[in-house]
Every structure is written in structure tokens, then in C-alpha cells.
């Protein structure tokens, strides 16, 4: 029993260390990457006795600054909800990480063995739930409350508009997102993320190859869910400033962190569902088999490589998200709705129908 708890704690520590640090790094990356895209230098000045680490200390400085800033609550705001809203925004995002498989399953007793087989490997996943992806959708839906309540509680027309936009947008795109995944379920036949990853053992079996349209639809719907450009309408800093316009200091930081955690989470989801999770080309249970190379590796190294692969994939997806965010203009509310309901939702339904037909045909005895 005690072992299970310890293991759970270790996994939580790994995953959250990963997610939180990655999101902190992302705040730096977003600025440096956009700077490089824009022929600027970006933040490079924060230093500890002269050591700047290419500006990597800026997230630290930001956190310190935001944490020590005045925490202002507008006099007419609904205090309780105003205070709770950031938690509503961040808690679901933290919770959904539970189902992400970030490394191959580990056989605890045989860490140095090559390609060990054990009855009950320890799954590198905080919670292995059979309906893992449904859990994700269920929990992620809650985060709309954060934006909506923050907008409403601030007693500000701008934030109210931002909150309204956020709820409408997130509700609309959740449907597309769900529909886009149905094709994947049909192909892989499971809702459990760990299992999903295991089934994408080769590139040909990756979700992105099996479900290209589903990938595009899911990716853009997910960006819309994170409320980032070109779907950053709830924020829309030059129009309505955003649902968190009245927030400052640590509370603002919570929203901010939530947003970056969402980016990371989208990265994890896309990686897990479409990019084969921790699976790397040529990485098998007994070692690397790529370009004619046959390298026998101990189990622990394979697990480590899986973890690295997963991290790199997440990074790439995050990079792509940031690049899109800095290149595209924002859509308008009606155009966003039109795209969601009249463009992406029908496309995802068509995707489901086609996929279903193909799956049916493939599995039918006619083919055999």
C-alpha cells in the first residue's frame, strides 16, 4: 500500500515538475521565440550576479515580481468569486495532467534488464483510467468557469464581454475537439491514453498518419480552447483587454500560468493522441533499432529515452503553437463561431463518418 502511495507521489512529482517547469520555460520561450521571429532580442537581462542563462532567469524574476505586486480587488467586484476564479481556471488544467502517459511502463524490479517482461508494470501515468480521454474532456470543461466567473465577478464591462466570449468559444470548440477524437477512438479502439500510446508503436500507426484531418481539427480546436491567437478573443487585448483585466499580482499570475499550462497540456494531448506519445521511431523495448543500428539498452535507459522523446515532442508542439500565435491576426467573434460550427464541426463529423466507414470496411470479412 505504502509503495503505491510513494509511487503515485513520485509520478505526480515528475509530471508536475515537468508541466510547471515547462510552462515556466514557455513564458521565456514565448518571448524569446517571438523576439527571434521579430528580429528582436527578447528578455536577456535578468541575472544572478552576472549569469543570465540567455534570459532563462526571467520567469523567476517574473514570478517574484508578480507574487509581490499589489493584489488589487475592485471595490465593486464580487469578492469571493473574484478570488476563486483564478483557481477555477488553473485547477482543471492541473487535474487533467493525471492521465498523460509520459514514459513507457516500468518494470520496477528489473531496471537494468534488457526488455524485461513483468506482469504488472508500473504505468508512467498518475491515473490509469479506462475512460481517460473522457475524463480529460469532463475536467477541461470546468476551466471555462474560470474565465466566465472572472469576467463576471470583476464588475467591468470589458471583462464581462471577455468572459462571455470565453464561455461561448470554449463550449463551441469542445464539440469539435470531441468529434475530432472520435475518429481516433474508432481507429485505436481505446479511450485510455496509455493504451493509445502503446498502440502507436510505429510512425505508420501514429494518430497523425491515421487521422490527418482529425489532427488538424483537434489541434486548432485545442488552440481555440487555450484562448490563444488566432482565437484569443476572450483576451483580445486591443479590443476588450480580456476577462482578467481587473486582475493583478499573484491572481493574474495564476491565469497566466494556467494559460501556459494549457499550452503544455495541448502539447501533451497532441503528442499522446497523434504523435505516438513517448514512442520514438526505432525505440523498442530492448533498445534502439534505427538506421541499421541495433543497440541493446537496459530497461531504465529505454524508459529515459521514452521520457526524452515525449518531452521533445511536447516541445515541438508548443513551439508550433507559439509560432502560430505570433504570426496570425485574431478572428472576429462571428467568424470564430462560423468557423467552429459551420466549418470545423461538419468537417469533424465527415471525418468520423469516413473513418467509421473505412474501419468497418477494413474489419469486414469482405476485405479479408
Partner 1 sequence: MPARTKVVTVKRGLWENLYLPEIVRGLGVTLKHFFINTLGPKSKRQIVTIDYPDVVRELPERYRGVHRLNTREDGSVRCTACMMCATICPANCIHIEAGERENPASRDIEKFPQVFEIDELVCVVCGLCVEACPCDAIRMDTHVHMPPVEHRKDAVLEKPELMSRGTKSIAVDGGAGPDWRDKYTDLGSLTQIYRPDHIERDRERPARR
Partner 2 sequence: MYGSDRLRSVSAPELDEGMPTEEMVLNVGPSHPATHGTVHIKLWLDGEQVTGAQVNVGYLHRGFEKECEAHTYGENFPYTDRLNYVSPMLNNVGYALAVEKLLGVEAPERAQYIRMIVGELARLCDHLTYSAAQVAEMGAFTPFFYAIKARDFLWDILEEISGARLTHSYVRIGGVAADMPDGWVERTLATLVQVETVIKEIDTLMTRNRIFMDRMQNVAVFSKEEAISHGWTGPCLRGSGVDYDVRKDYPYLFYDRLDFEVPIGTAGDNMDRYLVRMEEMRQSISMIKQCFDQIPEGDYQLHDPRITIPPKQQSYNTIEGLINHFKIVVDGIEVPAGEAYTYIEGGNGELGFYIVSDGTGRPLKCRCRPPCFMLMTALEKLLVGHMIADLVPTFDTLNMIGGECDR
Q: What count of other Cβ atoms lies within 10 Å of the Cβ of residue 293?
A: 9
| Minimum CB–partner distance for residue 36 and partner 1 (Å) | 4
Which residues in 201-220 contact partner 1 (CB under 8 A)? Answer: 216
Residues 221-250 that bind partner 2 (CB under 8 A): 229-230, 232-233, 236-241
DSSP-derived 3-state class of residue 151? helix
Rounded to a whole number of angstroms, the minimum distance from the CB of residue 60 to partner 2 is 24
Question: 304, 339, 326, 317: which is closest to 102 by C-alpha?
Answer: 304
d(CA 68, CA 82): 19
- Compute the distance between CA of residue 116 and CA of residue 127 in angstroms, rounded to an integer: 23
Within residues 7-36, the interface with partner 1 by CB under 8 A covers 33, 35-36
Interface of this chain with partner 1, residues 73 to 92, rule: CB under 8 A: none
What is d(CA 50, CA 57) in angstroms, rounded to the nearest whole number? Answer: 11
Give the residue with the Cβ less far from partner 2, 118 or 241: 241
By CB under 8 A, residue 327 contacts partner 2: yes
C-alpha cell at 337: 463561431
Cis bond before residue 230 (omega within 30° of 0): yes
3-class SS at 290?
strand
The residue within the footprint of partner 1, chosen from 237, 327, 354, 360 (CB under 8 A), is: 327
d(CA 99, CA 108): 20
Q: Which stretch binds partner 2 (CB under 8 A): 1-9, 30-38, 177-185, 353-361?
A: 30-38
Residues near partner 1 (CB under 8 A), total: 15
Answer yes or no whether residue 76 interacts with partner 2 by CB under 8 A.
Answer: no
Cβ 238 to partner 2 shortest distance, Å: 4
| Choice between 40 and 79, CB closer to partner 1 | 40
Question: What is d(CA 189, CA 1) in angstroms, rounded to the nearest whole number?
Answer: 32
Phi and psi at 289, nearest 5°, equal -130, 85
The three cell numbers locating residue 140: 477541461
- For position 259 contacting partner 2 by CB under 8 A, the verdict is no
Is there binding between residue 344 and partner 2 (CB under 8 A)?
no
Q: Footprint of partner 2 on this chain (CB under 8 A)?
A: 34, 37-40, 157-158, 161, 165, 229-230, 232-233, 236-241, 326-335
Q: Footprint of partner 1 on this chain (CB under 8 A)?
A: 33, 35-41, 44, 216, 323-324, 326-328
Amino acid at each position: 500500500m505504502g509503495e503505491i502511495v510513494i509511487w503515485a507521489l513520485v509520478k505526480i512529482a515528475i509530471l508536475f515538475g515537468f508541466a510547471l517547469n515547462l510552462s515556466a520555460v514557455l513564458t521565456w520561450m514565448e518571448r524569446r521565440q517571438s523576439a527571434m521571429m521579430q528580429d528582436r532580442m527578447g528578455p536577456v537581462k535578468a541575472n544572478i550576479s552576472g549569469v543570465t542563462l540567455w534570459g532563462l532567469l526571467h520567469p523567476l524574476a517574473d514570478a517574484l515580481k508578480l507574487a509581490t505586486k499589489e493584489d488589487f480587488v475592485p471595490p465593486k467586484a464580487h469578492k469571493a468569486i473574484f478570488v476563486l476564479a483564478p483557481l477555477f481556471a488553473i485547477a482543471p488544467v492541473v487535474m487533467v495532467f493525471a492521465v498523460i502517459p509520459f514514459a513507457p511502463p516500468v518494470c520496477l524490479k528489473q531496471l537494468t534488464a534488457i526488455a524485461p517482461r513483468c506482469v504488472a508494470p508500473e504505468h508512467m501515468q498518475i491515473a490509469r483510467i479506462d475512460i481517460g480521454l473522457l475524463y480529460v474532456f469532463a475536467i477541461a470543461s470546468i476551466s471555462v468557469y474560470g474565465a466566465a466567473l472572472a469576467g463576471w465577478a470583476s464588475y467591468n464591462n470589458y471583462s464581462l464581454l471577455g468572459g462571455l466570449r470565453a464561455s461561448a468559444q470554449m463550449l463551441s470548440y469542445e464539440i469539435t475537439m470531441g468529434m475530432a477524437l472520435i475518429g481516433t477512438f474508432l481507429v485505436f479502439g481505446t479511450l485510455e491514453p496509455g493504451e493509445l500510446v502503446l498502440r502507436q508503436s510505429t510512425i505508420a500507426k501514429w494518430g497523425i498518419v491515421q487521422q490527418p484531418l482529425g489532427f488538424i481539427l483537434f489541434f486548432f480546436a485545442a488552440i481555440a480552447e487555450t484562448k490563444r491567437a488566432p482565437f484569443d478573443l476572450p483576451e483580445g487585448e486591443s479590443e476588450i483587454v480580456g476577462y482578467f483585466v481587473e486582475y493583478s499580482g499573484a491572481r493574474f499570475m495564476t491565469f497566466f500560468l494556467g494559460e501556459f499550462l494549457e499550452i503544455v497540456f495541448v502539447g501533451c494531448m497532441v503528442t499522446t493522441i497523434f504523435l505516438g506519445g513517448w514512442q520514438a521511431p526505432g525505440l523498442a523495448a530492448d533498445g534502439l533499432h534505427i538506421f541499421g543500428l541495433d543497440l541493446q539498452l537496459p530497461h531504465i535507459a529505454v524508459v529515459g529515452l521514452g521520457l526524452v522523446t515525449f518531452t521533445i515532442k511536447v516541445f515541438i508542439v508548443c513551439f508550433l503553437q507559439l509560432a502560430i500565435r505570433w504570426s496570425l491576426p485574431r478572428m472576429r467573434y462571428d467568424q470564430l463561431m462560423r468557423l467552429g460550427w459551420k466549418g470545423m464541426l461538419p468537417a469533424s463529423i465527415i471525418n468520423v463518418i469516413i473513418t467509421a466507414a473505412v474501419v468497418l470496411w477494413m474489419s469486414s470479412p469482405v476485405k479479408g
